[in-house]
Amino acid sequence: MLRLDNVTKVYKVGTFGGKAVTAVDGVSFDVRPGEVVSLIGESGSGKSTIGRMILGLTSVTGGSITVDGVPVKPGKEYYRGVQGVFQDPFSCYNPVFKADRVFRMIKETYYPSVPEPAWAERVRAAVQDVRLNPGEVLGKYPHQLSGGQLQRLLIARALLLDLKLLVADEITSMLDASTRIDVLNLLADLKTRGLGVLYVTHDLSLGNYLAERTVVLRRGQVVERGLTGKVFGDPLHPYTRQLVAAVPRLHAPWEDAVPADTCLYHEKGASGGLLEAERDHFVACACGEIA
């Protein structure tokens, strides 16, 4: 469904755009219907840039991004099937309007001919689907709702469309632990409706909890990707090993990652792209990481 092929993003920065920052460099992966793929990497690795390109919020410099074979095309039809939810739910609402105005905008744009009572029923159902009580949340201003409630209303809003793909960018980072799990479980529910979810996070344990497949990004490049159990159960790239070793564990001391002394990619004589080390488990060259 979502497919990125050799995608690159170069930002022009500095006076008159004289300098170039390569934020994303030759990235390829896909998201299938009914699965969550997590995009993991340190700050500045290019995760949000990838999300923004998929949502048509910034242009692609090279390569291609398609949804069901169709290139990203910002506009009404595209956003009917592809939506984003972001880290700070408050920034998505206008504080002077009641929070459920986000639903009104969907109706005006996509469903102007649906009669009001039928629309109100659809909104109520979508709000219940995200485990909120319509009577408690509809009709309130954003400041009268919690971050978790606002985040869920944004997901409900997305559910009112014929959604194929949801880009969820750090959506749980401002939530407390119990609300975070609620929202994560909600994303997991979306899978059962056949939606694809790209879950952007720097938190490996949340990605591990939720995602069928994982893409590990470093400095704009994919260093490892594949089935989540394989990527985190048997990390092949030194950077992924560092990430796994850095996950805090209760009642256990921090562990150092085992330093890599060989590059699997070159050991296996791979060239170009990623090495398929085993089925559904790919790794990049790690020569630059070997001491």
Ligand X SMILES: Nc1ncnc2c1ncn2[C@@H]1O[C@H](COP(=O)(O)OP(=O)(O)OP(=O)(O)O)[C@@H](O)[C@H]1O
> Which residue ranges make up the site for ligand X (CB under 6 A)?
11, 13, 21, 23, 41, 43-49, 202
Judged on CB neighbours under 10 Å (0-12, 13-18, 19+), 275 is buried
When the beta carbons of 43 and 178 are compared against ligand X, the nearer one is: 43
- Report the nearest approach of ligand X to the CB of residue 13 (Å): 5
Asked if 264 and 289 touch (Cβ cutoff 8 Å), the reply is no
When the beta carbons of 49 and 83 are compared against ligand X, the nearer one is: 49
When the beta carbons of 23 and 65 are compared against ligand X, the nearer one is: 23
When the beta carbons of 57 and 138 are compared against ligand X, the nearer one is: 57
Q: Which two tokens stand for residue 236?
A: 């092949």
Query: What is the side-by-side strand order in the sheet with 70-71?
Result: 19-31, 2-13, 62-67, 70-71
- Report the nearest approach of ligand X to the CB of residue 147 (Å): 18
C-alpha 118/C-alpha 290 separation (Å) is 62
When the beta carbons of 98 and 237 are compared against ligand X, the nearer one is: 237
Neighbouring residues of 178: CB distance < 8 A, sequence distance ≥ 6? none
- Report the nearest approach of ligand X to the CB of residue 169 (Å): 8
* Distances in whole angstroms, Cα of residue 5 to Cα of each of 2, 30, 62, 136, 150: 10, 9, 9, 44, 34
- Report the nearest approach of ligand X to the CB of residue 220 (Å): 7
- Report the nearest approach of ligand X to the CB of residue 120 (Å): 37
